Structure 1
């Protein structure tokens, strides 16, 4: 084989240092995220906001993903049509503690819920959730990790039976907001587990909006509202590692697709 991809980042760094091998690594349309289900503790806005604020996304990318990829504040990446760089979500463990305290929780008396994750489906997915659980513990959240296969995730999500928190890798090859925020956050969608009426009412008009500028502005407003309400926890945009023989030119595609037609002899 002259080309391989989706290998662990440490292996990518090791292999491209070898004679005869080269590499390419670019951010693609896949993101890592944690679904919040509108059940149990997640019905409390203070808990949701604290869970988001407690997570140091920069550290996760730096330590677990070797600096590849980038943190995100919404379900849109810079390449998506409705990306809005003005939407920020702060990392603030102290404020997270205050929010939890307002709901009667503390590191000594934590709020408790389950978080589901795959293990080995995406680079460092399980280790990432372990790290996040550790960050949560410091502010007053005690999360129990449940590991499942990706097929089980799909089954539970379609039935709206995910745990209060669940890791997932969302791909959006066309970069349109309907296929990121839209399907992930619209309650009636089989891909969503957040069912609050406020969000359904906000999204409903956008499905049929014919004015493109108004449509994109509408989705940006939805993203801002979702971030303010902490209805989901976006983590990072993934980078895709490709290792290839130096005798082959490989052109990366932001969708994450490997396109043999664009490969040429070096």
Structure 2
């Protein structure tokens, strides 16, 4: 729904914190959208539409495509299931300061880029509790990720990151939404090569004819 509303369907929905078509993305896994399950989980915690939980959702405005508008939509979606999120607009520098100080609010809308497509720069950076880039610190993730940082068998390493990505999504440690979009303006005389992870390489562009 977010992709259709704000990006004309161009933003690819994802189930784990990695781009589709890149190593580490479990192609056989999909995190299902379910309002009923969301309500059931909140009910277990003692909350719901009649007794909402109050949190803060932080977002930038104009840093990433559609960031503020998407955050506003998320606030309305959450309200339906029993989450009252106060929307807070912050500068990117404020996010970085809070991240380093371990002072982030309950939720933050953020876009993470990875031009290499390697899973270490997705889950390995975002979810490793020892990483300075990690917003969520959890020892169980560290136990899964740290052996992968020294794994020399590529197949085992990639399989390990697929497991990490799936586990993190199922535990709610991260809530992947969609792959960010990029807009490239060009004449019809130029042929653009596209990459699954959103990589932009002008050196691969060619002139037609």
TM over 0.5: yes
Match of 1:172 among 102, 114, 121: 114
Alignment-derived partner of residue 249 in structure 1? 190
Alignment-derived partner of residue 61 in structure 1? 3
Distance 1:220 1:160 in 2: 27
| TM-align CA RMSD | 1.6
Secondary structure at the counterpart of residue 185 of structure 2: strand
Do the aligned partners of residues 158 and 253 (structure 1) sit closer, same or farther apart at CA in structure 2, a change above 3 Å counting?
farther
Alignment-derived partner of residue 171 in structure 2? 229
Query: Higher strand fraction: Structure 1 or Structure 2?
Result: 1
The number of aligned residues is 207
TM-score of the aligned structures, taking structure 1 as reference length: 0.73
TM-score of the aligned structures, taking structure 2 as reference length: 0.92
Is the counterpart of residue 203 in structure 1 residue 125 in structure 2? Answer: no
Do the aligned partners of residues 178 and 261 (structure 1) sit closer, same or farther apart at CA in structure 2, a change above 3 Å counting?
closer
Do the aligned partners of residues 221 and 110 (structure 1) sit closer, same or farther apart at CA in structure 2, a change above 3 Å counting?
same
Alignment-derived partner of residue 118 in structure 1? 60
Q: Indicate if the aligned counterparts of 1:118 and 1:148 stay in contact, CA closer than 8 A.
A: yes
Instruction: Give the CA deviation at 1:264.
Output: 3.0
Alignment-derived partner of residue 78 in structure 2? 136
Distance 1:261 1:233 in 2: 33
Higher relative contact order (CA 8 A, sep 6+): 1
Distance 1:77 1:102 in 2: 32
Q: Show structure 1 runs of 5+ residues with no match.
A: 1-58
Secondary structure at the counterpart of residue 142 of structure 2: helix
Q: Deviations over 1:131-164 (max 9, x none)?
A: 1110100100011111011122222222222111
The structure whose Rg is larger is: 1
Is the counterpart of residue 74 in structure 1 residue 12 in structure 2? Answer: no
Q: Report the more deviating stretch, 251-260 or 190-199.
A: 251-260
